[in-house]
Structure 1
Amino acid sequence: MSFHGKGRWKAAPEACRYGASKLAFRGPKRSLTNEYVAFIGGTETYGKFVSRPFAQAVEAATGVACVNLGQPNAGIDVMLGDPGLARIASGAAAVVLQVPCAANLSNPFYKVHSRRNDRFLRAEPPLCALFTEVDFTEFSFTRHMLMHLRNVSPERFGEVRQGLAQAWDVGMRRLIAEIRAPVILLWFSERAPDRDDDAVEARCEPVLVGREMLAGLQSHVVAFVEAGDMARGSQGVECHTPYAARRDGDGPRNLPGQAAHDAVAEALIPVLAKVLDP
């Protein structure tokens, strides 16, 4: 696969596989024999259109092997749907889990593709009953469908949003529980969690996830790292570490560039240092 747009990024990076996982990951491949940190997430973790994703930058700075398990367009369904992924993550000394959006997951209202979680497959009866005037066969992507529903009826869209938030919370708690390693939750976005959390536009990734939803997970993770403005590179990066208290570029404009990845790596390095050597 190649990218023929403007910029220096011309070809997809080397792909590799780990253990029993059926997924192909971004290389170069790392050994799982010695200590390693696993990075789970979507397009940003994968590092689409950048030459050095933040996982690779962390490895260069710390010397600890960093296994990039990011998947383009991945949501909770991909992360939970591959038992091999959980086994790889559970063998890590620590796991950095990028916060996924709440739109790209199967839920009581609609189903998504098992691998391409941004792909809308079908509406379920509750959604059809809620929006009787909508022809759901017209939609191929979840965001397009949700934007249309919000325009048709913001009030009824609120019911869908509530259902998505509940499904997201259940999925995230299950995912964190299945990872038998310390989990660092990473917010990598151009917006802060308490801004535009009801929007579904691309610039608002991870869509439909807000501060309150994240707060419900913080007792289940060892740290929360917030990169709230990827457009400014190293600015706007905050870190909240409940663990410490307990233990005394190139490409589309809506994707982060190399400076943003480097800034996220800088924010993660001291947090990982505390987790790996408390």
Structure 2
Amino acid sequence: MAPGEKWVSVMSYHQTGSGGPEDAVCQYAGSRLWFRGPERSLDTPYMACVGADETFGRFVDRPFAAILEEKLDRRCLNLGSLFCGLDTLCGDTGLFKLITEAELCILQAPSVLGQTNHFYRVHSRRNDRVLAPTQDLIALYPEVDFADVHYVCHLMSLLQDQHDARFEIVAEELRRNWVLKIRDLLGKLKTPVLLLNLQVLRHQDSALQGGKMVVSITDQMLEQVRSVSAGYAQVSAFVSGHSDELEDMLFGTLQQPMAEHMIGPAAHKSVAEALIAPVRNLN
């Protein structure tokens, strides 16, 4: 760590019942988000790795940002934040400032689901949480009771259970909105942004999750945003529950179900390796 850097351990939603905080986390002035600790000095040049749970490196000792820092011998701030989605990326002014002050930003492409749109609103920081359906969604699905829906994945599952073409109307809105918001964000940033499309596979068929189709980032969506990014990298990795990495992860006795849905240490190494050449190409 550089002079002035410090380790901050915070008990928050990162504590998940194992008897102690899952990871040390930190905050930077101006942002309401909790990032992977330790807090790093902003007085010397840095690259910024921005994203959600995978960038944060949940349940692993060395996330890809730390590996990349060692491989490239360049300071790399881990600005991964749990439950960070599209709305958080576009709405947190402190995060925007951290990115603008970086030499380079590696941005993990956010989930399509974690965004407020014509059909539902999400929490401003925990973008996995649904605050409320809109009247448009209620009108589209008048027979569905949304009272007990609190998470976007639950909402998508509930809509798919209707087994008709209405779901594609919602999916198309999410895809369209995703492209508009990402393009707008990248257009505002003067910092070069390397877009990381990290495909986290939770099923042998990558298009399925729990036996249902997921609304994923399409090639057409990526083409529309790659033109306003400085670089691009794509990596696919199975979660530890579908690989042999679970035993190499760090989690408490009650955390295994969550750890099984995260990528492991070997996957983080693969992500770092895939980023080395694109980062060097931007120098």
Give me the TM-score of the superposition, normalised by structure 2: 0.82
Count of equivalent residues: 253
In structure 2, what is the equivalent of residue 117 of structure 1?
Answer: 127
1:60-139 mapped onto 2 (5 Å cutoff)? 60-139=70-149
**Structure 1 residues 263 and 88 mapped into 2: Cα distance closer, same or farther (>3 Å)?**
same
For residue 273 of structure 2, the aligned residue among 250, 266, 271 is: 266
For residue 39 of structure 1, the aligned residue among 4, 27, 49 is: 49
Distance in 2 between residues matched to 1:37 and 1:155, nearest whole Å: 44
Deviation at 1:22, TM superposition (A): 2.2
In structure 2, what is the equivalent of residue 222 of structure 1?
Answer: 230
SS in structure 1 of the partner of residue 132 of structure 2: strand
Unaligned 5+ runs, structure 1: 233-248
Partner amino acid, structure 1, of 2:180 = V
Deviation at 1:204, TM superposition (A): 8.1
For residue 209 of structure 1, the aligned residue among 184, 193, 217 is: 217
Residues 178-223 of structure 1, C-alpha deviation per residue, up to 9 Å, x if partnerless? 322111111112349xx755x5659988x42111111111111111
Distance in 2 between residues matched to 1:204 and 1:87, nearest whole Å: 36
Distance in 1 between residues matched to 2:270 and 2:238, nearest whole Å: 8
1:108-257 mapped onto 2 (5 Å cutoff)? 108-191=118-201, 196=206, 199=208, 201=210, 207-230=215-238, 249-250=248-249, 251=256, 252-257=259-264
Distance in 1 between residues matched to 2:140 and 2:16, nearest whole Å: 40
**Structure 1 residues 231 and 208 mapped into 2: Cα distance closer, same or farther (>3 Å)?**
closer
Deviation at 1:12, TM superposition (A): 2.4
Deviation at 1:41, TM superposition (A): 0.5
In structure 2, what is the equivalent of residue 243 of structure 1?
Answer: none
Partner amino acid, structure 1, of 2:71 = A
Deviation at 1:115, TM superposition (A): 1.0
**Structure 1 residues 202 and 141 mapped into 2: Cα distance closer, same or farther (>3 Å)?**
farther
Q: CA RMSD in A?
A: 2.4
Aligned 8 A contact 1:185 1:224 in 2: yes
Partner amino acid, structure 1, of 2:235 = A
Aligned 8 A contact 1:189 1:229 in 2: yes
Distance in 1 between residues matched to 2:93 and 2:125, nearest whole Å: 14
Which aligned segments of 4 or more residues in structure 1 are displaced greater than 6 angstroms?
202-205
SS in structure 2 of the partner of residue 152 of structure 1: coil
Partner amino acid, structure 1, of 2:79 = L
Q: Could you tell me the percent identity over the aligned residues? A: 34
